[in-house]
């Protein structure tokens, strides 16, 4: 008897939001399973939105001396690109499992699309954010600061498995920025971090999610909302 053919999924991306705080190891395990399933054409592409408890992650370029307070929060070594970053309550994390086999095997173009997604999202909240050569993520001009003094408001770090992405982006909505003092965030000693709340926005996390979804669809294509889930 012939084996059944693998299912063929359309271009609609699952959009899932988890409530509460999701532990990091469980999230990574789930991401890895999903990415592998997408690569085998056994599961649709997915964007998974969540928040983590306070923690630090170290990307493949992280330098040990940039972990300034090792005992402050749990530290997780991860295979994503980038250096040290912080995750915690009030920060929207979006893990992105997209198949670059079907979207063009161009990692730089894919990162530019992620940047465009965030830039469009922030523009909808009346915040101007830009990317910078040599600096990963999205940057905003610090209020009343001289030109060129910028703060990071969103981070990007991805990994690929058989050309399927995982990890993704994080956007500071109302995160506790004091928690960044335990690391040199993303390896930058000359720039700070900020959040929507610090910039004066009162937008809620649910409102941010709505805008993220609308602007994701403008850049990447249609989504379908899935029931909330945990790893």
Per-residue pLDDT tens digits for 111-120: 999 999 999 9
- The pLDDT-based confidence of 227 (bands split at 50, 70, 90) is confident
* pLDDT computed for residue 178 by the predictor: 95
Tell me: the pLDDT tens digits for 45-100? 999 999 999 999 988 888 889 999 999 999 999 878 788 889 999 999 999 999 99
The pLDDT of residue 46 is: 97
186 Cβ contact list (under 8 Å, min separation 6): 82, 83, 84, 85, 135, 136, 137, 152, 155
> What would the pLDDT profile of 15-51 be if each residue is shown by its tens digit?
999 999 999 999 999 999 999 999 999 999 999 999 9
Residue from 48, 213, 195 nearest 124 by CA: 213
| Token output for 51 | 């928040």
Using H for helix, E for strand and C for coil, what is the string for 11-76? CCEEEEEEEEECCHHHHHHHHHHHHHHHHCCCCCCEEEEEECCCEEEECCCCCHHHECCCCCCCEE
Closest C-alpha among 161, 199, 162, 210 to residue 177 = 199
Neighbouring-strand partners of residue 55: 87
109 CB contacts (<8 Å, ≥6 apart)? none
Report the predicted TM-score, pTM, of the whole model to 2 decimal places: 0.90
Q: What pLDDT was estimated at residue 1?
A: 32
| Other beta carbons within 10 Å of 125 | 16
For residue 189, the model assigns a pLDDT of 57
Task: Report the sign of the C-alpha dihedral through residues 32, 38, 42, 48, in that order.
Answer: positive
134-190 pLDDT, tens digit each: 777 899 987 776 666 789 999 999 999 999 999 999 999 999 999 999 998 755 656
What pLDDT, on the 0 to 100 scale, is given for residue 79?
79
96-111 CB burial, b ≥16 within 10 A, e <16: bbbbbeebeeeeeebb
How much is the mean pLDDT over the chain?
89
Q: How far, CA to CA in Å, does 210 sit from each of 16, 47, 125, 162, 218? A: 12, 13, 12, 30, 13
174, 186, 205, 212: which one is catalytic? 186
Q: Which pLDDT does position 11 carry in this prediction?
A: 78
All domains of the chain in start order, with CATH: 13-225 (3.30.930.10)
Cβ neighbour number for residue 145 with a 10 Å cutoff: 11
Say how far apart CA 124 and CA 127 lie, in whole Å.
Answer: 7
Residue 186 catalytic? yes
For the cut 70, the answer to whether the pLDDT of residue 6 exceeds it is no
pLDDT in tens, 189-200: 567 899 999 999
Contacts (Cβ under 8 Å, ≥6 apart) of 54: 73, 86, 87, 88, 89, 176, 179
pLDDT at 9 over 70: no
């Amino acid at each position: 008897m012939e084996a059944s053919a693998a299912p063929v999924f359309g271009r609609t991306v699952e959009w899932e939001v988890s409530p509460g705080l999701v532990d990091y190891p469980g999230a990574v395990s789930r991401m890895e399973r999903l990415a592998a399933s997408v690569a085998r054409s056994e599961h649709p592409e997915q964007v998974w939105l969540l928040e983590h408890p306070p923690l630090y992650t170290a990307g493949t370029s992280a330098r040990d001396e940039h972990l300034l307070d090792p005992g402050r929060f749990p530290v997780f070594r991860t295979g994503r690109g980038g250096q040290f970053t912080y995750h915690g309550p009030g920060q929207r994390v979006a893990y992105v499992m997209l198949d670059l086999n079907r979207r063009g095997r161009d990692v730089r173009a894919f990162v530019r699309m992620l940047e465009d997604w965030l830039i469009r999202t922030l523009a909808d909240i009346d915040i101007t954010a830009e990317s910078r050569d040599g600096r990963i993520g999205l940057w905003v001009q610090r209020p009343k600061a001289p030109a060129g003094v910028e703060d990071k408001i969103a981070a990007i770090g991805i990994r690929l498995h058989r050309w399927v992405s995982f990890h993704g982006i994080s956007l500071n909505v109302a995160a506790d920025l004091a928690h960044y003092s335990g690391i040199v965030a993303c390896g930058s000693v000359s720039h700070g971090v900020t959040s929507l709340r610090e910039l004066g926005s009162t937008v809620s996390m649910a409102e941010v999610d709505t805008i993220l979804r609308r602007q994701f669809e403008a850049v990447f294509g249609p989504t379908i909302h899935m029931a909330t889930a945990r790893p």
